[in-house]
Chain A
Amino acid sequence: MTAELSMLIDVSRCMGCRGCQVACKQWNQHKAEKTRFTGTYQNPPQLSPETWTLIQFIEPVDYDDNPRWLFRKQQCLHCTDAVCAQVCPTGAINKLENGIVYINQGICAGCKACVETCPFHIPKFDHHSGTVRKCWLCLDRVKNGLKPACATVCPTGAIRFGSRAEMLRIARERQQILTNQGFAPRIYGEKELGGQHAMYLLPENASIYGLPENPRKPTEKIIWRWLMGVIPGLAILAGIGSYLLKERSKSEAKTGGE
């Protein structure tokens, strides 16, 4: 049994230098996107098949009238309860024993079910390859004993990588330090969706960083969705049947039967 690995993204340490963004493109040999400056430093504006991670630049307003600037590294969180892998009809997406959720590009048929189900909107459909692509935690590096490219270049230690137990230990340590500094930090991904393999240490609530406070699988309680179709459907069919039966008896009464 392989030890579970995890990334720890310590948001309190991130200063938005975006070395990770470039390192990701360099290691994975991704193309640069043609972008424009749109009024924010964030670029590309969102994840894409060629952009597996990006720093979100968040400028909260109305906070004691003081400016703030928050940076969050957006990427696949590699959930234990990985809904993308569950909804994949071809079996191209698998959660590996080390926790990495991996899309086998040789199997993916590009149905996009995962794109529409991921609660974090991470997987992106690639029109060129016809498949869906996303962060793979540099599985090729990890298999060879290296850290993912982004974790390797991060100057402040905001991105760490190692065994999940170790990352949790560090996260708790940092949580304590931040608590002492007056923050209300949260380890996001410790329990969420069965525990993620890229966890955040958030100095405050998750929604300010554009993360769902309580991420849920859209397929949760899916049986109710089925029943919401099947039961009214049966009712309507019964209604149709009774109407037709009534019409039949009406016309039979009129004509005296066949």
Chain B
Amino acid sequence: MTNHWIDIRNADRIMIIGSNAAENHPISFKWVTKAIEQGAKLISVDPRFTRTSSKAHIYAPLRSGTDIAFINGMIKYVLDDMEKNPQSYNMEYVREYTNASFLIDPAFKLPADMNGVFSGYNPKKRSYSKGTWSYQLDSDGIHKKDKTLSHPDCVFQLLKKHVSRYDAQTVCNITGTPADVYNEVCRTFAESGKRGKAGTIMYAMGTTQHTYGTQNIRGYAILQLLLANMGVAGGGINALRGESNVQGSTDHAILFHYLPGYLKCPEEDDVSVDTYSRIKYEGKNKDPRSADWWGNARKYIVSLLKSWYGDKATPENDFAFGYLPKREVGKDYSHISLFETMYDGDIKGMICLGQNPAVGGPNAQKERKALEKLDWLVCADLWETDTANFWRRPKGDDLDDTVDPASIKTEVFLLPAAASMEKEGSITNSGRWSQWRYTAVHPPGRAKSDLWILDRLFKAVSARYKNQGGPIAGAILDMAWDYGTGDEPDVHAVAKEINGYDLNTGKLLPSFGILKADGTTSSGNWLYCASYTEAGNMATRRNGLDPTNIGLYPEWAWCWPVNRRIIYNRASVDMKGRPWDKKHPVIVFKGGASDGKYISRKWIGDVPDGGWYPLMNPDGTLRDDAKYPFIMKPEGHARIFGMGRVDGPLPEHYEPLESPLTKNPMGHATRINPAIKLWHEVRPENNKIGTPDEFPIVGTTYRVTEHWQAGAMTRNLPWLVELMPDVFVEMSVELAAEKGIKNGNKIIVTTARGTLEGIACVTPRFKPFKLNGKSVHQIGIPWHWGYTGLARGSSANCLTPHVGDANTMIPEYKAFLCNVNKKEVV
């Protein structure tokens, strides 16, 4: 989340798209409800009418996988309306804080001119070379801009040209949204573009789990920037994280391409701290008004290495940078890739901590089969999981899957783990708040905390290296590993290490601003520097005061970065430092002024994104010592045109890999995201893809309130099983009538990959989509079930394909092709 949970209450318009917040993030509705009661309008965009939709003022159905068309149409509405009613929008924000005014390489071409791809596409490699996706620079290396936003090469005009094809009729023919509802959505949400008004977008996996999930979010970001909703209270694009601590785990590098604090993972050509820092981070900007915060990365990577290798990280050995594993350039180590490699037999062992890929992974049958190729598998969980149990899974619904426990050689270790209430430590919520939790009860039996498990594992591995040696033994043996002498590692020592020390004084550091690249500071995660200082553990703070009255609660727990509750908050004020929204000011500049010039610096409110002077003096003159508000971007401006992604600088509608449409309805030849990896082509075995003539129905998967993810925790709790005992398949009354299915009937869902047995939930909450006059059905299946635990049933992920987003590789769980039939009773 750019903002945080409580901040939702400050919104005037809330669009929940790609999320079913009421069901999957019930607590968020505490604040959504508050906002509504203060007059906010709630828009729910979803293929089916959900518990979220039941509370919405406007419910807009859309076919799974058509968010980009939906949002591009909204962007077109906003741009058209801006021309007619510029006073309804914050043009100063668009002009000064986004890259709308930046000029792009004249050689850049949009998909409309390139048969569906952007310039630079290489169809053989299925990838782009991004040469033309770049800013024009002047002779000083500073970006060329046109503040009138009228130059044909400027981002604003390119965007306008790009989305001009997404008129409401075209959009509705793609999404299946009724045109009147769509127009109402556009009009209603665009009202948040007025100065002083705020609109928030809440999204989750319905947005991300597509082959163009990142571009979906790009679409939201562009819309929010045009509406001046980033950085303000009640605004932002807010990713509702699906697990209580998934934000924390991402911050601490659960993803393969990051080190802690979103430092990029070194690649094979990063031979030293110096090359790593220079190639990846430094010298990206020449504009003195841009803070280009990532230019500091060298300090962070050195402090990280000092934290990991302590005294063994010295300037002489390049701070042990050589010990860091380097990934192959461009190689993908994501979930699908790992399991495809495992299926090929190239992975020998797996440690699976609190994860259940046998249920949660796409094309789950293939992944279950891949587990058979392992020599060993360690699972740490509260209950025996389907993954730990894969070797005796029932056969039946699996197409090519025959299970013979006797022939499976994988050795499975099941470690009983402690639940969150059974151990002390921090969790970081979606709003980036790190909150400390205490042990409420001790774990039952021999269950242990993850920290204990990892500590013992490390010590055992380390002892083995010490005794027997091994390749790059120093990477293990030189590691600083001191978390106390007790049975349970000292979790405070870990938290302090994450914060970091001044290594000269031995004192905890107060902020990442003073991290150094010379080896005199350490920090296990620069973003968390300031979380555990000499003043104490900030995550334990429980002061309920809210001096700003917009729900920041600055002394409740702690928030990264540096306790900033709303990031990009310097975009919430005008160039002179005065808030756009006088009722909900996030920050206000209160420095002294003399002769029309600011002469002293003082911000009140939230921790500002850098405490520099505002860009403009009270008399309207620009200041040279000021910085642009979007400090994490080299150019200091938020990117409407985003050259960072691999699949295009602007979002273009493509169909899901499996789609009921055989052509891109935007009228060009590029049906699917041209930059995704096609696993069914490179590894066809057990990676079948279905066609609409055989599988005419759109399928999607989701969660319900009553179960948690792959179900290992909740499917073993009788109280929750009672609420949601069985796999069910939601479908429209119309589809049920076509198939002769009645509410409560047992039905079979098939895809090219597998089958699922479930109970029909025939409901008016699903309706067929009208696409260009053609009726397309969609069904939905919660994916929590598996073959282990109290409540069992078919896993919806036996249906989903192995294909991922071009940027993040997140699997396309949300849109696939299937067929439905009543189960014949024998």
Q: Which of B23, B26, B27, B725 contacts A43 (CB 8 A)?
A: B725
Known: A39-B759, A61-B764. A16 touches B54 (CB 8 A): yes
Contact at A37–B29, with CB atoms within 8 Å? no
Nearest residue in B to A60 (C-beta to C-beta)? Answer: B764
B:47-61 near A, CB below 8 Å: 49-55, 59
Contact at B764–A33, with CB atoms within 8 Å? no
Known: A16-B54, A19-B26, A69-B54. A36 touches B763 (CB 8 A): no
The reply to whether the CB of B397 lies closer than 8 angstroms to some CB of chain A is no
B:718-762 near A, CB below 8 Å: 718-728, 743-744, 759-762
Nearest residue in A to B742 (C-beta to C-beta)? Answer: A39
**Which has the most chain A C-beta neighbours within 10 Å: B54, B59, B760?**
B54
A44 to B724, CA, bound (A): 9
A13 contacts across to B, CB distance below 8 A: 33
Contact at A39–B33, with CB atoms within 8 Å? no
Q: Which of B30, B726, B764 contacts A59 (CB 8 A)?
A: B764
Contact at A21–B761, with CB atoms within 8 Å? no
A36 to B762, CA, bound (A): 16
**Chain A at the B interface: mostly helix, strand, loop or mixed?**
loop
Instruction: Tell me the total A-B contact number using a CB cutoff of 8 A.
Output: 103
Contact at A37–B718, with CB atoms within 8 Å? no
Contact at A39–B723, with CB atoms within 8 Å? no
Contact at B51–A67, with CB atoms within 8 Å? no
Contact at A15–B54, with CB atoms within 8 Å? yes
B723 contacts across to A, CB distance below 8 A: 18, 21-22, 35, 43
A21 contacts across to B, CB distance below 8 A: 723
B722 contacts across to A, CB distance below 8 A: 32-35, 43-44
Contact at A69–B761, with CB atoms within 8 Å? no
Contact at A156–B37, with CB atoms within 8 Å? no
Known: A15-B52, A31-B718, A67-B49. A37 touches B761 (CB 8 A): yes
Nearest residue in B to A15 (C-beta to C-beta)? Answer: B22
The reply to whether the CB of B765 lies closer than 8 angstroms to some CB of chain A is yes
Contact at A17–B765, with CB atoms within 8 Å? no
Nearest residue in A to B21 (C-beta to C-beta)? Answer: A15
A77 to chain B, nearest CB (A): 23
A:7-54 near B, CB below 8 Å: 13, 15-19, 21-22, 25-26, 31-41, 43-44
A44 to B719, CA, bound (A): 10
A33 to B23, CA, bound (A): 22
Contact at A156–B759, with CB atoms within 8 Å? no
Contact at B29–A155, with CB atoms within 8 Å? yes
A: number of interface residues (CB 8 Å): 35
Contact at B33–A67, with CB atoms within 8 Å? no
Q: Which of A16, A40, A156 contacts B33 (CB 8 A)?
A: A156
Known: A39-B759, A43-B725, A59-B763. A32 touches B718 (CB 8 A): yes
A156 contacts across to B, CB distance below 8 A: 26, 29-30, 33
B334 to chain A, nearest CB (A): 32
Contact at B59–A37, with CB atoms within 8 Å? no
Q: Which of A40, A44, A155 contacts B26 (CB 8 A)?
A: A155
Contact at B725–A36, with CB atoms within 8 Å? yes
The reply to whether the CB of A206 lies closer than 8 angstroms to some CB of chain B is no
Contact at A37–B720, with CB atoms within 8 Å? no
The reply to whether the CB of B245 lies closer than 8 angstroms to some CB of chain A is no
B651 to chain A, nearest CB (A): 29
The reply to whether the CB of B88 lies closer than 8 angstroms to some CB of chain A is no
Contact at B720–A17, with CB atoms within 8 Å? no
Contact at A69–B51, with CB atoms within 8 Å? yes
Known: A15-B51, A17-B705, A155-B27. A26 touches B719 (CB 8 A): yes
Contact at B744–A69, with CB atoms within 8 Å? no
A177 to B52, CA, bound (A): 20
A43 to B725, CA, bound (A): 9
A214 to chain B, nearest CB (A): 27
Contact at A69–B49, with CB atoms within 8 Å? yes
B765 contacts across to A, CB distance below 8 A: 59, 67, 69
Contact at B725–A39, with CB atoms within 8 Å? no
8 A-B pairs closest in CB distance: A32-B718, A39-B743, A39-B744, A37-B726, A69-B54, A32-B722, A17-B26, A15-B22
23 residue pairs from A and B, CB less than 8 Å apart: A15-B52, A15-B55, A16-B51, A16-B54, A17-B22, A18-B705, A25-B719, A32-B721, A32-B722, A37-B724, A37-B726, A37-B727, A37-B728, A38-B759, A39-B760, A39-B762, A40-B743, A66-B59, A69-B54, A71-B51, A155-B27, A155-B29, A177-B37
